[in-house]
Amino acid sequence: MEKKTVLITGASSGIGEGCARKFAMNGHRLVLNGRNVEKLNAVKAELEEKYGAEVWLLPFDVRDRAAARAALDSLPEEWKAIDVLVNNAGLVIGVDKEHEGSLNEWDVVIDTDVKALLAMTRLVVPGMVERGRGHVINMGSIAGDYAYPGGSVYCACKAAVKALSDGLRIDLVDTPVRVTNVKPGLVETNFSVVRFRGDKAAADNVYEGLRPLTGDDVAEVVYFAASLPEHIQIAEVLVMPTNQATGTIAYRKK
């Protein structure tokens, strides 16, 4: 595909970082968002050095709408025409039951996984429609297909990402702008460490006995969807490790 400008949220690690690497190695121009400036700088340095990539950093918390707007407005004119928006930033805190968890923590999860994704879409998609080109790739999850123990609010958020993706696809049906919902299963990233509030052993246990996906693996799917000819729209992809079958069923070697 021709050179595109790709905005990725949550690009300082995990799936977002994997996507940044994949687009960079294929010669695309990257606008990378994240909260951790140090990590973002490290990703930028790697992509510039290894692939000669053009990278612009936009450090802001996606939950902060004013900061998001100001950051996008601050882009130089030639970087403003975003061709691909990868709405990747997301998290979950804790594995509490719905009737026992912290509403304050869940506010953070809902604000990040649902409301910020919606806000980024609202900011970027009008320009895509105006320019007559664009692709929104939302990071959904297998969690949006099935609720599972300890996942209530996260699963609800990812179900919302599916509905927002489907709704946006409907709203854009008379435009050339494509919408894709990528739904990963078990991916080994810092995601689990955050889920278990920093307990690395509990996080590692999730991937015990099977080979999980990596951020780079999911990036293959994201890039595939983005690189197909413009008349082909991958609406949704469910991607799991070979030894995972559903949100709750995986085979683990003892």
Residues identified as active-site: 154
Does the footprint of ligand 8X3 cover residue 141 (CB under 6 A)? yes
The residue written with tokens 């007559």 in the block is: 132
Q: Is the CB of 128 or the CB of 161 nearer to ligand 8X3? A: 161
Type of residue numbered 218: V
Q: With contacts defined by CB under 6 A, how many residues of the chain interact with ligand 8X3? A: 7
* Sole binder of ligand 8X3 in the list 82, 123, 125, 143 (CB under 6 A): 143
Q: Residue 193 is encoded by which pair of tokens?
A: 């460490």
According to DSSP, residue 7 is labeled E
Strand partners, 5: 29
DSSP assignment string, 132-161 = T--EEEEE--GGGTS--TT-HHHHHHHHHH
Does the footprint of ligand 8X3 cover residue 147 (CB under 6 A)? no
Q: Residue 53 is encoded by which pair of tokens?
A: 């990539």
d(CA 61, CA 89): 9
Q: How many CB atoms lie within 10 A of CB 102?
A: 12
By CB under 6 A, the residues from 165 to 204 that bind ligand 8X3 are: 184-186
CB of 143 to ligand 8X3, least distance (A): 3
Q: Is the CB of 94 or the CB of 184 nearer to ligand 8X3? A: 184
Phi, psi of 225 (to 5 degrees): -60, -40
Query: Using CB under 6 A, which of the segments 45-53, 68-76, 124-132, 141-149 binds ligand 8X3?
Result: 141-149
Q: Is the CB of 53 or the CB of 114 nearer to ligand 8X3? A: 114
CB of 14 to ligand 8X3, least distance (A): 10
Do 55 and 32 touch, CB atoms closer than 8 A? yes
CB of 240 to ligand 8X3, least distance (A): 8
Does the footprint of ligand 8X3 cover residue 142 (CB under 6 A)? yes
d(CA 20, CA 43): 8
Does the footprint of ligand 8X3 cover residue 152 (CB under 6 A)? no
- 5: helix, strand or coil: strand
Does the footprint of ligand 8X3 cover residue 213 (CB under 6 A)? no
By CB under 6 A, the residues from 93 to 132 that bind ligand 8X3 are: none
Contact residues for ligand 8X3, defined by CB under 6 A:
141-143, 184-186, 247
